[in-house]
Amino acid sequence: MAHASRNKLVFTVKDKCKICYTCVRECPVKAIKVVNGQAEVISARCIGCGNCVTVCSQGAKTYLDSRSEVYNLLKSDKPVIAMVAPSFPAEFTEIEDYDIFVGMIKQLGFDKIIEVSFGADMISREYAEMVEKSDKPLISSDCPAIVYYIEHYYPDLVPLLATIASPMVASSRIVRKEYGDVHVVFIGPCVAKKAESDEIDEALTFYELRMMFEQSKITKRNAKPQKFDPPYAGKGAIFPVSRGLLQNLNKTDDISEGKIIVADGSKKFREAIEEMSEGTISDIHLELLSCEGCIMGPGMSKNGSRYARRTSIGRYVKGKLEKLDKDAWNKDIEKFKDLDFSQAFTPADRRTPMPDTNEIYKVMQSLNKFEDKDQLNCGACGYNTCQEHAIAILEGLSEIEMCLPFSIEKLHNSVEDLYISNTKLLNAKKALKQSEKLAHMGQLSAGIAHELNNPLGVITMYSNIILEEAKDDDPIKKDLQLIVEQTERCKKIVGGLLNFARKSQVNLSETNMEDFCKHSLKSIIAPENINCVFKSNMSNLFAMIDTDQMMQVLTNLEKNAIEAMPDGGQLTIELKGDDESIEINISDTGSGISKNNMDKIFTPFFTTKEMGKGTGLGLPLVYGIVKMHRGQIIVTSNDEKETGPTGTNFKIILPRNIINK
């Protein structure tokens, strides 16, 4: 039964949806929900207009298939009558002789083939009378999608719907009167008809009819010509084009008469109803069609052109009227004129309550729309305004990602984040390389230092013995002193190497950092021309450090600073801290480090100091110890007087409590 309670007319074909939001944009009642990148039809909201089926280029929307039900009816004992909508010449343009078309339908097993146009003829008379007599505004009720729209979304306007049956329902009443107990199957361009009325048994679209012809291998070549069965239709055949009803009534929508407004297509019909509801138009008859004429209905084959279809209808009607037996037609009109063609309509409010303004505002904010100028109302999401989109999000119909400007901004941010992570990764790689280099150097140094330590010990011991034994006036004494001095220097270098190659272990103890830093300054002997300053703003003075190793760090940095200020200057140690970490800044007003050398200073044996003064092992040692404390070392320096005061700052950041691994 094509009953009115049938509520699932249009469906989504899974996985075909490519989320272009065209259906969202074109759905007059916003009955499309986007979830997980698929657009689903919400049956409770749908008015069956089939607009989404027409506009979806991916074939991701389809409608209820009634073919198997019709095949079952054809197998039953009762006669089955096909009622063909007047738009058929616009669909079956390849069939020049419509008697052949009738023959093809008969060949499917239908007992009689009736034109719905006769029903249209009958209800035109009712409309003519109602328009003439009515002193209130009227809305035509021949398009089922329009009727659902008003019943569900403008229930207050239901009393304005013309209480006249549609041409399909009128035809079914005529057929049942004429042919008695029969099954009635409507065939037309419309999807909404499938749920319009309990008075017909089934409704097929022209597209379904085409498929049935194909299944049964019925073609225009193998079909025998047949005539439509009575009652024969007249001008009602013009109904499916826009303004068809008017032409039938011999009326116009001439603006100077101002009594009738024709609005077709999903945008225009909504505007007209909205204006009627607001009261800006009244005392007027609205002739409304959800499609741009039934000839553009969703049950037609795709991609047909509107004006070619219109011409086909015109040609058919002209030919038909020329051959029309007026007397017989008038007789039929007389015969059925007392049949009840009335139709009642009941409001069935399906409007959803408007969400709270605060909630809408919150969603707008989450879409980065804070001011009016942020609301582009670009329509890319499928909604006319950003506000409508926000409401749809609150109703669970839409997703934030459907906002194109928002998604583009998000993408930009992601690219930026990616760039930052990339840079971080690069720096980490560099640090890793440096550590590896240091580790290799460490192994090598350890080996060399170990081997050198013993012979050096022997040289020191014997050279000292010989030096002690030598007489003061012995000319060799000076040379011996040089040997002892240089051997001591070698021992210092070897000691440095051993320090540097020490195993990666820290021995942590809780240390008062202020005392510790002050102590480090005391242990280096600063020349008089150097002013040593200590600053601290720490509230928690304690951190876990390896005091022996960290003392080496501070004294090395302090010595470097002093050596960079041969003409005097200021050495500053500054302590800062938060809950997590402490920061030690060792800065000087010395020569600064050139940009070229910046990359090299942590490389073992790199030194700019004169022979005998520098070993180039201080900073690699500092680096190794800070890393073992899971800390960070950052150098900033300026060596160009022109750009400002010269000097260097070594910033060491250490976690307060590190786990000794």
Which DSSP string corresponds to 287-307?
EEESSSSGGG-TTSPTT--HH
- Per CB under 5 A, 86 contacts Mg ion: no
To ligand ADP, the closest distance from the beta carbon of 559 in angstroms equals 7
| Contact residue for Mg ion among 560, 572, 587, 638 (CB under 5 A) | 560
Following CA atoms 507, 509, 514, 519 in sequence, which dihedral angle do they give, to the nearest 10 degrees?
A: -50
Out of ligand ADP, Mg ion, none, what residue 648 binds, judged by CB under 5 to 8 A for its kind, is ligand ADP
Helix, strand, coil % over all residues of the chain, rounded to 5: 45, 15, 40
Tell me how far CA of residue 242 lies from CA of 247, 310, 313, in angstroms.
9, 9, 11
* Nearest to ligand ADP of 40, 583 (CB atom): 583
To ligand ADP, the closest distance from the beta carbon of 469 in angstroms equals 35
Picking from 292, 318, 324, the residue whose alpha carbon sits closest to that of residue 306 is 292
| Gap between the Cα atoms of 71 and 69, Å rounded | 5
Q: Are 162 and 136 in contact (CB under 8 A)?
A: no
Burial 460-490 (b: 16+ CB within 10 A, else e): beebeeebeebeeeeeeeeebeebbeebeeb
Compute how many other C-beta atoms are within 10 angstroms of the C-beta atom of residue 15. 10
To ligand ADP, the closest distance from the beta carbon of 610 in angstroms equals 10
* Structure-token pair, residue 377: 């109302």
Out of Mg ion, ligand ADP, none, what residue 445 binds, judged by CB under 5 to 8 A for its kind, is none
Footprint on this chain of ligand ADP (rule: CB under 6 A): 556, 560-561, 564, 588, 590-593, 597, 601, 606-609, 614-616, 618-619, 648
* Nearest to ligand ADP of 296, 557 (CB atom): 557
Out of ligand ADP, Mg ion, none, what residue 564 binds, judged by CB under 5 to 8 A for its kind, is ligand ADP
* Chain position whose Cβ is nearest to ligand ADP: 618
To Mg ion, the closest distance from the beta carbon of 537 in angstroms equals 28
* Nearest to ligand ADP of 317, 593 (CB atom): 593
* Nearest to ligand ADP of 511, 603 (CB atom): 603
* Nearest to ligand ADP of 95, 438 (CB atom): 438
The interface with Mg ion within residues 595-634 (CB under 5 A) comprises 618
| Gap between the Cα atoms of 138 and 286, Å rounded | 6
Query: Quick one: which segment of 43-51, 452-460, 500-508, 559-567 binds Mg ion (CB under 5 A)?
Result: 559-567
* Nearest to ligand ADP of 240, 618 (CB atom): 618
Phi first, then psi, for residue 518 (nearest 5°) are: -60, -45
To ligand ADP, the closest distance from the beta carbon of 624 in angstroms equals 11
To Mg ion, the closest distance from the beta carbon of 441 in angstroms equals 16
| Gap between the Cα atoms of 498 and 445, Å rounded | 7
To ligand ADP, the closest distance from the beta carbon of 491 in angstroms equals 16
To ligand ADP, the closest distance from the beta carbon of 492 in angstroms equals 11
The radius of gyration of the chain from alpha carbons, rounded to an integer in Å, stands at 47
Phi first, then psi, for residue 255 (nearest 5°) are: -65, -30
Q: Where on the chain is the footprint of Mg ion (CB under 5 A)?
A: 560, 618
